[in-house]
Amino acid sequence: ATIKPVKSNYKIASDSLFAPFEFQNSAKKYVGIDVDLLNAIAKNQKFNVTMDFVGFQTAVDQTQAGHADGMIAGMSITDERKKVFDFSNPYFTANATIAVKSSTKDIKSYKDLKGKTVGVKNGTASQAYIEKNKDKYGYKVKVFDAADTMYESLNTGSINAFMDDEPVVKYAILQGKKFATPLKSVKIGEYGFAVKKGTNPELIAMFNAGLAKLKANGQYDSIVEKYMGDKE
Ligand code: GLN
């Protein structure tokens, strides 16, 4: 049986830059795994979506305030977030990792971050991890609103390292960023589509039903491969 949408259009918030999950292509059009996945699921389940690429913390705030019906932003399913969000079934698995400039030679363990400055993006699971372990390792934390300024700050040396999701850092390196990931990555949870707790239950149900269909018919794999594969 198909699930019926309640709204004629669902407003979905997303990050402003989290490649390869959401980013602007050379034509300034937003593309990426989250974008294609949500659109394919909406098509499969016959509901309408409009995506707004407002940035991670803003997406969280808009969803919590009811200004967005849901969010997809490479968002990790964590116990903290489960208190205020309902999540779909997981659609991707990713750890978080420390990135340094590839020329950096003196950061080989978390202890080597002592006295250094570590960047994180506001509201992320990486921020939670980095803030929690700040005193243990004795580094300073610098919080950014978006990835572009954080990555640029590593290039210019105003931060010594940053923590971000592993596939995102790996993708940046593949795209030519001179970064390295010398430390062990940390588990932060699998990615899920989210709504404000107790709202839009049909949206979660449709996402799950569509995701299962896309996994079964190979569409899920082709979307991931399109952005992650070794293609030109
Ligand atoms: N997966 C991370 C989190 O949920 C980062 C998401 C993001 O930066 N878009 O916090």
DSSP assignment of 9-21: SEEEEE-S-BTTT
For residue 59, give the 3-state DSSP assignment: helix
ipTM field: 0.98
**Residues 148 and 17: beta-carbon distance below 8 Å:** yes
C-beta of residue 22 within 8 angstroms of C-beta of residue 53:
yes
To test the pocket of ligand 1, the residue of 56, 62, 78, 168 to mutate (highest count of ligand atoms within 8 Å of its CB) is 56
- Architecture (CATH level 2) of domain 10-91+192-228: 3-Layer(aba) Sandwich (3.40)
Residue type, 228: M
Segment (H or E) for 87: strand 85-87
The listed CATH number (3.40.50.720, 3.40.80.10, 3.40.190.10, 1.10.3720.10) that belongs to domain 94-188 = 3.40.190.10
Instruction: Show pLDDT as tens, one digit a residue, over the chain (232 residues).
Output: 589 999 999 999 999 999 999 999 999 999 999 999 999 999 999 999 999 999 999 999 999 999 999 999 999 999 999 999 999 999 999 999 999 999 999 999 999 999 999 999 999 999 999 999 999 999 999 999 999 999 999 999 999 999 999 999 999 999 999 999 999 999 999 999 999 999 999 999 999 999 999 999 999 999 999 999 754 4
Q: How far apart are CA 40 and CA 34, in angstroms?
A: 10
Pocket-forming residues, ligand 1, beta carbon under 6 Å: 15, 18, 56, 73-76, 121, 124-125, 165, 188
